Amino acid sequence: MISKIISSVRLSGSGHKYPKNNNKHMSKKNTLFQIFLTLFLSIPFGYSQVDVVYTNLVWSDEFDNNGAVNSSKWHHQTQLPAGGSWFNGEVQHYTDQLTNSFVNSGFLNIVAKKEPYTSQGITKQYTSARLNSKFSFLYGRVDVRAKIPTNQGTWPAIWMLGKNVNEDGGFFDSQFGTTNWPACGEIDIMEHGITPSQPVNYIQSALHTPSSFGNTTNIGGTIANNLGNDFHVYSMNWSPFQISFLLDGVVFYTYNPAVKTPSNWPFNAEQYLLLNIAMGGVAGAIPSNFTQAAMEIDYVRVYQNTLVDTQAPTNFTASIGTVTSSTIELLLNAEDNSGNVNYNITYSGGTIALANPSGVPRSVIVPNLMPNTNYTFSVTASDLAGNTFVANPIVLNATTSGVIGCSGTDTEAQAGTFSIGYNYAFETIGTDVKITFEMLDTDKVGVVAFLWRQSPFTEYQMTNVSGNIFTKTITGQTIGSTISYAVKFAYAGGLSVTRFFSYVVGSNCALDIPTSSELSQLCYPNPVEGILHLQLQDHHNQISLTDILGKKHFEMVVSAREDINMSDLKPGIYFLRIQNSRGIQHLKIVKK
């Protein structure tokens, strides 16, 4: 909420972790027994998509007492930032008035109102409330059951900030405020009203870090049924390995950078909760007939694991799953009395650390591998307390297959435009075809991707791999048949659609049918260790080399014969683009 720009992200389904009642509280208001019974029953379902299950309720507000909010749990943040206005062009005063925040019939009401109000020598035309929890924590799960306003110009939010944030007027600032935003880290559990390109029932989550803030790329979202009229449970599950966001118990976005640094992971220190409704600014114009809007909150709950654990994991198994030219799947499972198991995978490409609920099988796809290469994996199991499996490690070996497919880079669009272009790859795996596209444009925010089948036309949502890389596997194809697909990239404020690519299932080729002159342009040796020799059919050739993540390593004009020194490049797959009077050709280069 400190610094946000509109964005759009992937869509998902929804479910319910707790029973929903739009008129009165659930039975959770009656007894503690029912709270823990509900939690127990929900674990196999509501927690099944998170990496660490948190089961001990450590802090909550059930809003049972009518009147002012509980001052032992909440702080009204009312002090204006320097300059006299809140961030993002917002136009409200935050107050501690009972009309802006109060408890009634078991619900906290945060109310944004149209009314002139003077505070700190400044008059504004709207009031609202911004609450800080007086509780902070490191790692755990937050569940907030709430009904939010969808009025134009309103920006309701449930979010978190690092306890160390340097923000005058915040509850923890005077004692702990040593770090400026975004180095403190920000976790937006739910926000609504700042994505005008999305349907009204769309909610989003976001993370702000030194590596991506304000106009952040770390965003995810989904559609909530009947958003303005129904209560939903907005959740965030935070472990040392990843942060997952859930709507009604179903994960719709997970943030887990493979290599964690202070720049992309400031989430290793305590954070506190914030509840508020902002007005105007990036939430858009406020209609002249607006009078007030409220966010109703049924409960706020924080769970952690607090029991002392001395038992090591048991029944640890690890095996090899699906193998492709660039990935190897590891199938892991173990049990632990704590309810969670940590897995640590080491191999020549580095280390992968993750967690998973006890007894739940976990598939781990090891990416960015070389084709026709043998890999050895050392896998260990432990729990969050550091107890290790008695027979660690399990050692696995697997060899990647050769590549059967086509790939390249292009800029052509059948709708919208591309400022840089996109990478594409079609790979045959058995009778399946894995289709991967990456948008290379750096000026697009909140990118999601949809695969378009040309005939009969069908649209499929693609899975985000990392950054702006998306994939979808088309199953049950016939070897030798021709398929044709394009990709629609949607983003804040627009969309761009690639051209359709025709691919013969089971073939190794350049996409589409290359001419004989194109085929006679040679790059060798391939795979290459040092010097790559080019023999081209034109005396003037524009060439460029990008890696599998889209990073361009060089671009130059060369003659018909040229030697390229590849020695300094890391092993991996690269794409060489050759443009001359005979057209454009894309070649895949393997660097050993």
Q: Which residues are designated catalytic?
A: 186, 191
Q: For residues 108-134, b (16+ Cβ closer than 10 Å) or e, as one string?
A: bbbbbbbeebeeeeeebebbbbbbbbb
Strand positions, DSSP E, 305-373: 314-323, 328-335, 340-347, 350-357, 362-366
Residues pairing with 259 in the sheet:
none
Judged by DSSP in three states, 361 sits in coil
Q: Rounded distance, CA 509 to CA 584, Å?
A: 15
Edge-to-edge order in the sheet of strand 572-580: 552-558, 541-547, 572-580, 583-591
Closest to 309 measured CA to CA, from 220, 382, 207: 382
Sort 192 into a burial class: Cβ within 10 Å, 0-12 / 13-18 / 19+. Answer: buried
Query: Would you put residue 71 in left (φ > 0), alpha (ψ -120 to 50) or beta?
Result: alpha
Residues pairing with 277 in the sheet:
156
Residues in the chain: 592
DSSP 477-532: PPTT-EEEEEEEEEETTEEEEEPPEEEETT--S-SS---HHHHT-EEESSSBSSEE
Cα 16-20-21 angle, rounded to 5 deg? 170
Phi, psi of 35 (to 5 degrees): -60, -50
